[in-house]
Amino acid sequence: MKKRLVHESRMMFIKIMSIFLLVSILVSVLYVYVTYNGEKEILLDDCEDHFSSFMNESLVYTSIDSGNLFSLDMDGMEYTINNFQNKSNRNVNFQAVVFDKSNEMLYASQNCYVGNYSWYLYGYGEKILSDNISPGYVVFFYDNFIDSLNDEQIEQIRSYLTCQKNADGSYYELICKEFYYENEPEITEEKYGDDFIVNVQYLMNTRIIPSKLEIVLTNDDHDWYVQDEVIAEFEVDLDQEFINTHHFIGKQTETKRNVIDKNFVLGKYEQEDLYSELSQKFGDAWIDNKGELANTVEHTNGYYQISPFEYIYCGYDNSLGAYNKNDEKELTSKDLQIVKIRYLEKINVLESCINRIGMTFIYTFIILLIVGVVVWYISWNTLKKQLELEKKRREFTNSMAHDLKTPLFVISGNAENMLLCAVNENEKYYAQNVVDKVNTVNDMIHDMLELSSFESDKIRICTEHFNLSDIVQSIIDNYISMMDLCDIHFECADGVMIDADKMMLQRAMQNLIDNALKYTDDKRSISIRLDNHSFSISNSVSENAKINLKYIWEPYYRSENTARKDGNGLGLTVVKSVFELNDLKYGVKFKNNIITFWYSF
């Protein structure tokens, strides 16, 4: 009872958990599919919003020949693109590329930082402007910035910038103390009374190269640079040839801090070369082809898939875009050249939604696991009660069987005496009938007690290695007298060995052969086959036989067409118990009015 309870409980748990695991996998796969495609659409919509914002900030309306056209100054274009990079969300990986009408690239945005700085201008060692230039935008590029510092300086700067705020609210910032202009500014002097007026051009929106950096300790209450405490200074190691050819330096004022964003220093402004990535994969076709969404209504632009989960969105603008070749000349239609602006943004759909997918999968699995355990616990308790009731029934049946053996013995003795003392045929007939019925009941009681012993927790399996061929042959020999009544075909391999309880298996084999002889159609045959790994026995049944294989191993089960034949319905149940106790695989097949019982080892 205990062993069966443990086995049934284990099997029930495995089945229930397998079902819930399968359900959780199906639900998760469906959720992943819906979430992934939904996230993809959301990201593409965001890309279109970013593209629209980019175009609004990067273009200037100019009236030309009484028509409104977009006018582009390439110097200003570089600034507006880079400034848009700084103001955009740094989780957005994008690049802006400008082509002429022949698809020659005019400009591609790079990994840079745009700073709103105030500075004094020095040239040839002297201050050129007495007043600071404020405010002004400057641009410097990540690769140039990092290459100008040694590893020790970079490590030290990053160690300060990654520090958390102090208890008093102070924190560290990186200041650009001095810088060189990458392109020398144009300076002229004009006479104004007794004084000279210094005119400086190309100071705004220009590229710079830092030459001196500082780490300062500041807080939100400090308004001016002079209020900060200088913690460390860094001299940038610039090439001497560069210094000799660049004479103008911008220097930090006492007021506004020329801060370099720490995310830029930590490499979080890094931008991939999406233009080259697309060109390597698709050539120049992508410049004028809108990709997979060219003919869809969901998006006005297109995208290209570059890996299983990565896409590059392409924003296209050809309409009325123009580029001014001559800033000194008033724009006319003859001075305009149509340009193609391509906004590229890379999205990774899986990376964007992996956390939600992972957490949802975990929550779904946990919920289904809890539900599965609860269902298993309830089912286990129900099964336990059923097995307890079955145990009580079996105990009652065994007790009743034992109690019946004594009166049956007395009845059998008296019937045999009556048979010996019978003086006419009627008395002999009735006495013999009583003896036969008593023997039938005795056989049933014997089967019931045997089945009960097999299902008991105290049963002992005496496994031994023996020759199964000899056992089967000896059983067949016992039925040699029935060969004339039924055609038995026997195929047996020699020397088939098996590890099992010899007495139990012999009883099971005998039950199978008894069952075949008892229920076979008289006009057909029985086939018995034994090979090195399996045993099978087949017999024909009547054409109108109705056999439910689902219940055939259950005790007291008998099909409708065999109800009138001798038997108690326990023989196959005993066979099943023997096979399970000896860990043998077994089964039954019914096809074309032939039923086959088999087991393998």
Predicted pLDDT at 79: 53
> To which H or E segment does residue 57 belong?
helix 2-58
- Picking from 554, 561, 557, the residue whose alpha carbon sits closest to that of residue 540 is 561
Distance CA 35, CA 354 (A): 10
DSSP 176-194: EEEEEESSPPEEEEEEETT
Strands 112-123 and 105-108, sheet pairing:
unpaired
Cβ-defined contacts of 395-401 (< 8 Å, 24+): 397/448, 397/452, 398/448, 398/449, 398/452, 401/445, 401/448, 401/449
Residue 235 bridge partners (DSSP):
212
Compute the distance between CA of residue 532 and CA of residue 45 in angstroms, rounded to an integer.
68
What the block records as the tokens of 346 is 């890379």
Compute the Cα dihedral for 372, 373, 378, 383 and give only its sign. Answer: positive
* pLDDT at res. 156: 93
User: Which of 576-597 are b and which e, b meaning 16 or more Cβ less than 10 Å from the residue's Cβ?
Assistant: bbbbebbebebeeeeeeebbbb
Output the pLDDT for position 242. Answer: 81
pLDDT value for 214: 94
Over the range 343-379, which residues count as b (16 or more CB within 10 Å of their CB) and which as e? bbbbbebeebbbeebeebbeebbeebeeebeebbeeb
The residue type at 1: M
Q: Which residues are CB-neighbours of 23 under 8 A, at least 6 positions away? A: 368
Q: Quick check: helix, strand or coil at residue 116? A: strand
Q: How far apart are the first and last CA of the chain?
A: 25
Q: Are the C-beta atoms of residues 12 and 376 closer than 8 Å to each other?
A: yes
Burial classification of residue 144, based on how many CB atoms lie within 10 Å of its CB (0-12 exposed, 13-18 middle, 19 or more buried): middle
Give a three-class secondary structure readout of 328-379: CCCCCHHHEEEEEEEEEEEEEHHHHHHHHHHHHHHHHHHHHHHHHHHHHHHH
Regions of the chain short of the pLDDT cut 70: 1-9, 57-92, 124-136, 185-205, 269-271, 289-300, 318-338, 393-395, 397-403, 447, 449-458, 480-486, 522-524, 543-545, 559-568
Q: Distance between CA atoms of 300 and 281, rounded to whole angstroms?
A: 23
The residues facing 138 across adjacent strands are 115, 206
**Sign of CA pseudo-dihedral 385, 387, 391, 396:** positive
Q: How many C-beta atoms surround the C-beta of residue 13 within 10 A? A: 17
β pairing state of 487-492 and 525-530: parallel
Element (H, E) at 278: helix 274-282
Domain boundaries, the chain: 2-97+276-354, 111-265, 463-600
165-to-116, 219, 231, 233 alpha-carbon distances in Å: 24, 9, 15, 20
Give kind and range of the element (H or E) at residue 393.
helix 349-421
| Closest to 107 (Cα-Cα) out of 116, 96, 121 | 96
- CA neighbours closer than 13 Å in the CB half-sphere of residue 135: 8
Q: Which two tokens stand for residue 280?
A: 């390597």
378 token code pair: 């309830």
* CA nearest neighbour of 344 among 276, 298, 260: 276
Instruction: DSSP for 209-257, please give it.
Output: EEEEEEEEEE-TT--SGGGSEEEEEEE----HHHHHH--EEEEE-SSS-
How confident is the model at residue 485, as a pLDDT? Answer: 59
Domain 463-600 has CATH 3.40.50.720: no
- Helix, strand, coil percentages for the chain (3-state, nearest 5): 45, 30, 25
What are the pLDDT digits (tens) for 293-325?
Answer: 443 434 457 888 888 899 888 888 765 454 444
Helical H segments across 422-500, by residue range = 425-454, 468-478
Residue 288 is given by DSSP the state T
pLDDT at residue number 377: 80
Please state, as a whole number, how many other Cβ atoms lie within 10 Å of the Cβ of residue 313.
25
Pairing of strands 112-123, 126-127: antiparallel
Q: Which pLDDT score, from 0 to 100, does residue 232 have?
A: 93
What burial letters (b/e) apply to 89-99, b meaning 16+ CB within 10 Å? eeeeebbbbbb
Are the C-beta atoms of residues 81 and 254 closer than 8 Å to each other? Answer: no
Output the pLDDT for position 295: 39
